[in-house]
Chain A
Amino acid sequence: MADEVVLLDFWPSPFGMRIRITLAEKGIKYEYKEEDLRNKSPLLLQSNPVHKKIPVLIHNGKPICESLIAVQYIEDVWSNRNPLLPSDPYHRAQARFWADYVDKKVYDLGRKIWTSKGEEQEAAKKEFVEALKLLEEQLGDKTYFGGDNFGFVDIALVPFYTWFKAYETFGNFNIESECPKFIAWVKRCLQKESVSKSLPDPHKVYEFVVEIRKRIGIE
């Protein structure tokens, strides 16, 4: 029986991108369903009754919510192709730690940058750059966070690159000049088809953020 895989997603979502990349890495065919977040489908509301959020991975009718949990699920089920997590438990715990760090820091700080002004924005920018620098330190001289192989932390982090143009424009700063190693790593990731095909054009994301800012009344 063929596996039925559906992804409920929203094109600019970095969380959705994580799952897209993972499915591509594993060569899994799936149906992509674009959600209108102002008019969520009954399927979405039924599949994620707790948070009512995308992304939701649906495998043979069973929903898995929370992007990093879905990525680990895919890794578990399709374990024979392109392992994304280290086999050693200690390194696996480290990978989970850093993916969790990305979750705790990057999205919220990024969001503060494009929604706030003045002192609040400056503080968010400072913390954001510090977080990227810490991640750069973690990367060190490795090709990817996973070492020689693209892996879990790379997947957790690289989607946020598509929002950098928005952060930079509204935050009035340049990320590459602050964190060149980080951008070099992004460029390496973008050479992978699984990544380049899963990420939207940063310019489109920027235009989307312009629209949202108008809609929520930020000038």
Chain B
Amino acid sequence: MTDIKLHGFWYSPFTLRVKWTLKLKGIPYENIEEDRYNKSAQLLQYNPVYKRTPVLVHDGKPLCESMIIVEYIDEIWPQNPLLPTHSYHKALARFWVKYADDTFSAVASLVRSSNGEEQEKAIEKIWEHLKVVEDQCFGDGKNVFGGDTINIVDIAFGPLITLLVVLEDALGVKILDDEKFPHLHSWYNNFKDVPIIKENLPDQDKMVAFIKVFREKLIASS
């Protein structure tokens, strides 16, 4: 009997990537909610390098870094596969997964922004990234995001866009502009309605409230 534990934060987009992967593949696991201001001794032991979530513990063996965890799960539980089998498509998928990770640092700047100027700069940076995705990932013959089936690029970007929608609400700004990013907007609208995703999205109001408090604490401490 396989023993799987996920150490994470309910609000974290990185934890969400792993959670969605486990749910999509129907893999039972124990969720261990960590407190970022008081991390468990176990977590620090499992992830001594970065001391952060998510950490997946499979039969006592820890794995760290969300997309490394996702690829690991995909290799061991092949049902509802996330990575393409074709070598070139696999390489392309990994490229866009990395791009999603690179985009997060722009999102982090927005979360930390303490004034209008910083906020504007951060949004510009995010827009630059979203434009690249809009231009390069959609259109004739491009199958980067999953169509009818969820793939690894959907998993990589999904929580990022979810967080942007929360930030729009929390900050009163428009980021995922459907005029600027029609394909991305349309993709996300479909994606968030896929039953397994819909059932496992953190509550929007709870997230907005959380982000506001989180930002206050961050800004106060900087």
User: Are chains A and B native binding partners rather than an unrelated pairing?
Assistant: yes
Q: Interface on A for B, CB 8 Å cutoff?
A: 49-50, 59, 62, 64-66, 69-70, 72-73, 76-77, 89-90, 92-93, 96-97, 100-101, 134
Q: List B contacts of A66 (CB < 8 A).
A: 94-95, 98
With known contacts A66-B94, A93-B71, A100-B68, A50–B49 Cβ distance under 8 A:
no
How far is it, in angstroms, between the C-alpha of A92 and the C-alpha of B72 when the chains are bound? 8
A-B contact pairs, 21 of them (CB 8 A): A50-B132, A62-B88, A64-B91, A65-B95, A66-B95, A66-B98, A69-B91, A69-B95, A72-B94, A73-B88, A76-B91, A77-B87, A89-B76, A90-B72, A93-B68, A93-B69, A97-B63, A100-B65, A100-B68, A101-B49, A134-B49
- The A-contacting residues of B in range 153-208, CB under 8 angstroms, are none
Give the interface SS of chain A, mostly helix, strand, loop or mixed.
helix
A97–B64 touching, CB < 8 Å: yes
Can you name the residue of chain A whose Cβ is closest to the Cβ of B61?
A90
B217 at the interface (CB under 8 A from A): no
A96–B75 touching, CB < 8 Å: no
How far is it, in angstroms, between the C-alpha of A62 and the C-alpha of B49 when the chains are bound? 36
Q: List B contacts of A90 (CB < 8 A).
A: 58, 61, 63, 72
Can you name the residue of chain B whose Cβ is closest to the Cβ of A134?
B49
Give the one of A49, A59, A70, A73 with max B CB within 10 A. A73
- Report the contact-size class of chain B (Cβ under 8 Å from the partner): 20 to 34
With known contacts A49-B136, A50-B99, A89–B68 Cβ distance under 8 A:
no
B90 at the interface (CB under 8 A from A): yes
How far is it, in angstroms, between the C-alpha of A73 and the C-alpha of B94 when the chains are bound? 10
Q: List A contacts of B64 (CB < 8 A).
A: 97
Q: List A contacts of B91 (CB < 8 A).
A: 64, 69-70, 72-73, 76
Q: A50-B136, A93-B72, A100-B65 are in contact. List 16 more A-B contacts (CB 8 A).
A: A50-B95, A50-B132, A59-B88, A64-B88, A64-B95, A72-B94, A73-B88, A76-B90, A89-B72, A90-B63, A93-B68, A93-B69, A96-B65, A96-B71, A97-B68, A100-B68
Q: List B contacts of A77 (CB < 8 A).
A: 87
Q: Kindly supply a per-residue 1/0 record for chain B positions 62-81, scoring 1 wherever the CB is within 8 Å of any chain A CB and 0 otherwise.
A: 01110011011001100000
Q: List A contacts of B88 (CB < 8 A).
A: 59, 62, 64, 73
How far is it, in angstroms, between the C-alpha of A117 and the C-alpha of B98 when the chains are bound? 31
Q: List B contacts of A72 (CB < 8 A).
A: 91, 94
How far is it, in angstroms, between the C-alpha of A64 and the C-alpha of B64 when the chains are bound? 26
How far is it, in angstroms, between the C-alpha of A65 and the C-alpha of B136 when the chains are bound? 14
Which one, B49, B61, B75, B90, contacts A92 given CB within 8 A?
A: B75
With known contacts A49-B136, A90-B72, A92-B75, A76–B87 Cβ distance under 8 A:
yes
Q: How far is the CB of A7 from chain B (nearest CB, A)?
A: 15
Q: Kindly supply a per-residue 1/0 record for chain B positions 84-98, scoring 1 wherever the CB is within 8 Å of any chain A CB and 0 otherwise.
A: 000110110011001
Q: List A contacts of B75 (CB < 8 A).
A: 89, 92
